[in-house]
A and B are shown apart, each in its own frame.
Chain A
Amino acid sequence: MRYRFLFEQMVRRELRQKYKGSLLGVAWYVVNPLVLMGAYYLMFGVVFRVVQYEDYPLFLMAGLVVWLFFSQSLLSAAPSLLDQGALVRKARFPRETIPAAVVTVQLVTFLVVLALLGIVMVAVRGTLAPALLAVPALLVALYAFVLGLALVVAVLHAYFRDVAPILSAALLPWFFVSPIFFQVDSITHDEWARRLLTWANPVAPFITAIRQPLYLGTLPGAGTLAYVAVAATVALVAGRALFARMQAELAVVV
């Protein structure tokens, strides 16, 4: 780990650039999901009443924070190599530290929000159960999954500038088919639609797996756990391989 110190410095650099000149700083990361949560609660919990779960805002929030970590990480990782162009063009260092630092900064804020949410969850829903012990492992898997995808979008965007716009266009419909404000079981009775919504969307199992111990105090099913482990491994291995293959010309293309 010769470059641990570099990674630490890149994270600091990222943090500094992010919160530069903002009064509330890190607090924005808590405000943002809270506002979204309020909006979706109003939409789906009060106006349309598609689903009726106990403590719906908490259910919503648990899925939402996972989704926000996923989407914000990818959206900020995509242009990250271009943003640090001066560095990429003029210095030699492992370039994967740039998207990795971006994702790690998102992770920190995500963990802060999740910890706050966890405390409220346990207090309101009484879910102080052994299942909570699985959460850290699930978070590691989520981090690996997001990091792998972030490496992919970052290096692809450096070569093909359509990647970031495509990504931001895709994330909106992706959000609505992800089980964030609903549970798959309660919106359709069609077996195939259920399977599709549950397994074809790689983010869905992560959302379900992290929400369940918090919201219900139980462990997610073995299938979901296996999916999460495999998806995390595949994303990280494939992401690193692709990045390694494509990073040589970065100083020329950014």
Chain B
Amino acid sequence: MRPGEIVLERASRSFSIRADRGRTLKELVLRRDHHGPAPVRALDDVSLHVQPGETVGIVGRNGAGKSSTLRVLAGIIPLQGGRAECGGQVVSLLELGAGFGRDFSGRENILLNGALHGLTRAQTEARMEAIIAFSELGDFIDVPVKTYSSGMFVRLGFAIAAHLDADVLLIDEVLAVGDEAFQRKCEAQIARQIEAGTTLVLVSHDASLIERTCARVVVLDDGRVVFDGPTTAGMPFYHRLMGTEEVAV
């Protein structure tokens, strides 16, 4: 695998839907875990090959398997069939403040996130000032993050993700929370990283964001790839699928 390369080969993954996700011993003992709704196929035979430096937008309805695809690529969820591989340092921004300790200050959370991505203390501290500057949090950086607004969370989260030397950057719908100025800053930063060879996979319902940042679009429906090609052809396909075709002016 080259750094930045992504391979999904006939990837399949289903989830059983249930209120409590853990099983109880009763089920284990009685061997009765086949009741309840049938498992949902989140990824059904998905194949995808992304070259280093490509920008891929993943679109589709709610529940089409977009987020599952990202979590598989991030290595958080294992596949039940097929193969998934990402080359190099994979950095994911899947949820606002996912790896944050609420009682820690922004600065301490930068250390924690660096650690989660396998950096050493020295490597993380070397990036500290750049991350703080990018986040524009100012004095709030030394305040526990539980006092942050969601916009501040995304600033810090993206600032960290942007400074982890990603070869593959996986972003799930979180950028929309930031204000317009910060969104533009994020997009500019993403563009810089792409020029440097980073691969971007972006899940979003924001059609214009996809059009601005992604050259390639993958449309998922019911866990299957129904379109994979250039954005110019992909977005019209997506709109037709969603029944939201824009009326020609």
Contact with A along B98-130 (1 / 0, CB 8 A): 110101100010011011111111001000000
Does A90 lie within 8 Å of B112, measured CB to CB?
no
Does B116 lie within 8 Å of A251, measured CB to CB?
no
Does B21 lie within 8 Å of A86, measured CB to CB?
no
Which B80-108 residues sit within 8 Å CB-CB of chain A? 90, 92, 94-95, 98-99, 101, 103-104, 108
Does B25 lie within 8 Å of A162, measured CB to CB?
yes
Q: Chain B residues with Cβ under 8 A from A16's Cβ?
A: 101, 103-104
Contact with A along B20-38 (1 / 0, CB 8 A): 1111111010000000000
Q: Chain B residues with Cβ under 8 A from A87's Cβ?
A: 98-99, 116
Instruction: Specify which of B23, B98, B111 is in contact with A90 (CB 8 Å cutoff).
Output: B98
Q: Which residue of B is nearest A254, CB measured?
A: B21
Instruction: Specify which of A17, A92, A251 is in contact with B101 (CB 8 Å cutoff).
Output: A17
- Tell me, yes or no, whether A174 is within 8 Å of chain B by CB: no
Does B24 lie within 8 Å of A160, measured CB to CB?
yes
Q: Chain B interface residue count: which class?
A: 35 or more
Does B78 lie within 8 Å of A5, measured CB to CB?
no
Contact with B along A139-158 (1 / 0, CB 8 A): 00000000000000000001
- Tell me, yes or no, whether A119 is within 8 Å of chain B by CB: no
Given A16-B104, A90-B98, A161-B24, A6 and B78 touching (CB < 8 A)? no
Does B98 lie within 8 Å of A86, measured CB to CB?
yes
Q: Chain B residues with Cβ under 8 A from A10's Cβ?
A: 115
Expressed in whole angstroms, the minimum distance between the Cβ of B13 and any Cβ of chain A is 9
Expressed in whole angstroms, the minimum distance between the Cβ of A13 and any Cβ of chain B is 5
Does B99 lie within 8 Å of A91, measured CB to CB?
yes
Expressed in whole angstroms, the Cα–Cα distance for A156 and B230 within the complex equals 46
Q: Chain A residues with Cβ under 8 A from B77's Cβ?
A: 251-252
Q: List 21 A-B contacts (CB under 8 A).
A: A2-B118, A3-B115, A5-B115, A5-B120, A6-B118, A9-B112, A9-B115, A13-B112, A17-B101, A87-B99, A91-B98, A92-B74, A92-B92, A158-B22, A161-B20, A161-B22, A161-B23, A248-B78, A249-B78, A252-B77, A253-B22
- Known A5-B121, A12-B108; further 6 A-B contacts with Cβ < 8 A: A5-B120, A20-B103, A87-B99, A90-B76, A90-B94, A92-B90
Chain B residues engaging chain A, CB cutoff 8 angstroms? 15, 20-26, 28, 71, 74-78, 90, 92, 94-95, 98-99, 101, 103-104, 108, 111-112, 114-121, 124
